[in-house]
Amino acid sequence: MKILILGGDGFCGWPTALHLSGQGHDVTLIDNLSRRHIDTELGVGSLTPISPLDVRLNAWKQVTGHTIAALHMDVAREYDRLEATIERLAPDAIVHFAEQRSAPYSMKHSRAKRYTVENNLSATQNVLCALVETGIDAHLVHLGTMGVYGYGGGLRIPEGYLTVEVDDSDGIRTQREILFPPDPGSIYHMTKTQDQLLFYFYNKNDGIRITDLHQGVVWGTQTRETRLDERLINRFDYDGDYGTVLNRFLMQAAIGHDLTVHGSGGQTRAFIHIQDTVRCIGMAIGAAPAQGERVRIFNQMTETWRVGELAALVARLTGAHIAYLPNPRREAAANDLCVDARCLLDLGLEPTTLRDNLLTEIVDVAERYADRCDRSRIPSTSQWVRTSRVEQSSAL
Ligand code: NAD
Ligand code: USQ
């Protein structure tokens, strides 16, 4: 298949590009390198030494003989180029990762909030619009998030659609399937709930074939392909804005830092290993929706854990000390999470679950690159609730 990957230089996009190229697909990636620029803005970098994109691509060609084409393009701001590229390549599938994906970054300041909304919604809108304008019948596979559900509010989370009973216009009780009511917990998560409505509309109005993968927190760093050569190594974010919780704990343990649990650690989240992320995307591409089918929504996760349980697991494995810190986020101090995730299992996913050997592998990677860590960037400083300038001045 011809596959276009938007955001193909990122943490999920890069290993996905390698996986799909390794399977023999004709892969082109697009990225504006904004993630690398945000690292520069924040004065931090991936713990692993990621190579420049051209070095990555040449290494892949050298090691495997496969070629991945790449275009530097801003999907949110260069609509005409995007449309022309989709028309020229006529891809069978487009995988869309090209969004600002950090919740803490999206809550950092007004500029980051506005950037996240503008970038994410424009990127999604532009891809959909370009598909309509060109008439290219590509299957759009989008990386969404479990966070659109607000972690369930005590309900079992279905794969996207909720069956409700309502009265019809004649007062007769009838069943309807609706999108699970969105309940975002950050500006970033809010953009993903809005993406869902764009998908709903373009699918209904224009028949665009879409799979939205509601993914949990990704852990791990390497996949089968990124392990092939040091120049192919994947990102490892550890800082307070982009580092995700389990990878942060493993890296903190590797450098002798306390494990930074927010609040009591009662928050339950869904998790998936990066190797399963790339497999799931391959499976979703292979099982494209038929013309006329509504938006497919799969919950892309393999297990749920409480943050405090993860910290205890890492502490047991490594001897690290756990620090319970004031939570900078506005989120439930504790929640249960029960998720339906049959669709990807039915397509053949064999889940990679948290196992000591995989956790140890990540600690080993973190130890190898420990000298690249800036400890001052570990604390999560982005506050969900802050005092406004008006409140500050009236308190004086
Ligand atoms: P990432 O930031 O590492 O990668 C995103 C890539 O998209 C980056 O390389 C960035 O430069 C690029 N990009 C962003 N805006 C762009 C634009 N306007 N034009 C072109 N390129 C652009 O993030 P990731 O961790 O790889 O996440 C990828 C997707 O998966 C995101 O949409 C995210 O919401 C979703 N997701 C990630 C996780 C996770 O734990 N990492 C979990 C669930 C869902
Ligand atoms: N947490 C800690 N300590 C830390 C870091 C995080 O206790 O040092 C807690 C957070 O408060 C939160 C939980 O761990 O309760 C998860 O935080 P996270 O930073 O690992 O994940 P999150 O902000 O939810 O975002 C990540 C990705 C995002 C994706 C989302 C999937 O960055 O792109 O959409 O996971 S989900 O969480 O299922 O919505």
Pocket test for ligand 2, best of 257, 262, 297 (most atoms within 8 A of CB): 262
In a domain? residue 81: yes
Over the chain, what is the mean pLDDT?
96
Q: Does residue 388 lie within any of the structural domains?
A: no
**391 assigned to some structural domain:** no
Q: Can 115 be counted among the known catalytic residues? A: no
Number of compact structural domains in the chain:
1
Residue 122 lies in a domain: yes
Task: With a cut of 90, say whether residue 361 has pLDDT above it.
Answer: no
**What's the pLDDT tens digit per position in 270-297?**
999 999 999 999 999 999 999 999 999 9
Cα 184 to Cα 207: distance, rounded to the nearest angstrom: 27
Decide if 385 is inside a domain. Answer: no
192 catalytic residue (yes or no): yes
Structure tokens at 195: 């993406």
Boundaries of domain holding 328: 2-380
Q: Mutate which of 28, 34, 275 to test ligand 1's pocket (most atoms within 8 Å of Cβ)?
A: 34
Q: What percent of the chain has pLDDT over 90?
A: 93
Per-residue pLDDT, averaged over 62-66, amounts to: 98
**In 239-387, at which residue ranges do the beta strands (DSSP E only) sit?**
259-262, 268-273, 296-300, 303-306, 322-325, 338-339
pLDDT bucket at 152, cuts 50 / 70 / 90: confident
Greater confidence, 212 or 152? 212
pLDDT band at 391 (very low <50, low <70, confident <90, very high): low
CATH number at residue 230: 3.40.50.720
Q: Whose CA is nearest to atom 35 of ligand 2?
A: 217
Q: Is residue 73 part of a domain?
A: yes
